[in-house]
Amino acid sequence: MPNGPVRRQLLKAVAASSFVAPIAGCLDTLESGSDDGTAASGDTGPSSNEADADQAACTVGEALIAALGDGDFETAASSYPYSHFEDGDKDEDEDALDEADIAADLENGDVAQLEWVDTDIEDISCECVEPYSDDARTELDEDVVGDVTTVVELRFSIAYDDGTETGTESAFVNGVEIDGEWYGMISQWGSRDLCADGEVPDEHEDDSASDDHSAREQALEPTDWEDVDEIVLDGEIASWVGVEPAPIEDIENPTLLLFEGREYTIEWRNADGMPHNLKIRDEADDGLAETELIEGEGESASLTVDATAAMDNYVCEPHAQTMVGDIDVRDKN
């Protein structure tokens, strides 16, 4: 899984509308032969309960796509299960996702660049519904307030008119049933093992054969950090991304290995034009040091600290659900 566990991917989908399905393996594709969920010729077809669930997921996905097609990002944001991602262990909901933030992310992020967004949608057809694995559902269930019953990927065929030409595109939605209610989250691409049918761009192909865990372990080799005193991160709403030093390059929310008593400068760059800051926290999530909040894409901020054993993690406060990484402070001897 090149981008971490599925629950973080779904959190990213909520926060940034950029989801790469990391589930590998052979799943039989359920292709609906008509809008009412009947199976394609040769299939035995789903049970009535499965067909009802598929139809409910398709209905939510169609409403989400229709809203995006109209350029109605607020209505589209209402399809997202943001209220279920509140941190139930905290007295304050500072980490809770907000509908207005979701709407802004949809309007200003990569989703708005999809060819069919803010056009005249002429037809929406739900063509595929594929469930994620039980393990994926269980992992997501650990991160939400409520009972996750089903997690599926859906593929839609969209016919649209942008005012100059007509076109047909595929669109992917992740459907999640929580406490009996269905929610939808737009995806920029699907999974080859679910509904993508070869439509995933090569650069987004699930490279589950690569060992992301090994990369993180390598990043924590003390010898790789002996000469490090400057750390650079890119901040984007989906995650922090390591830039320097080499052990954290391109790693999402990398663990920072520091030596106690040594001075470090941590610089971060705003990579998406959304409001971010960087705060270093202790084990109780109390702040130890932080930068100012900046919103301009390409702007940067930094802080200089002496590493102490109290340092436990670093976080972007506005996007603490997804932009959070560990700090591992070692004895300098």
Could you read off the pLDDT of 60-77 as tens digits, one per residue? Answer: 999 999 999 999 999 999
Phi, psi of 129, deg, nearest 5: -130, 120
Top pLDDT among 133 and 268 is at 268
pLDDT band at 177 (very low <50, low <70, confident <90, very high): very high
Residue 40 confidence (pLDDT) above 90? no
259-283 as b/e, with b when 16 or more CB fall inside 10 Å? beebebebbbbbbbbbbbbbbbbee
List of domains in the chain? 6-204 (no CATH), 212-330 (2.60.40.420)
Could you read off the pLDDT of 294-303 as tens digits, one per residue? Answer: 988 899 999 9
Most trustworthy range by pLDDT among 39-53, 79-93, 98-112: 98-112
Most trustworthy range by pLDDT among 93-102, 105-114, 178-187: 178-187
Q: Is the pTM of this model over 0.75?
A: no
Residue with tokens 């030093």: 245
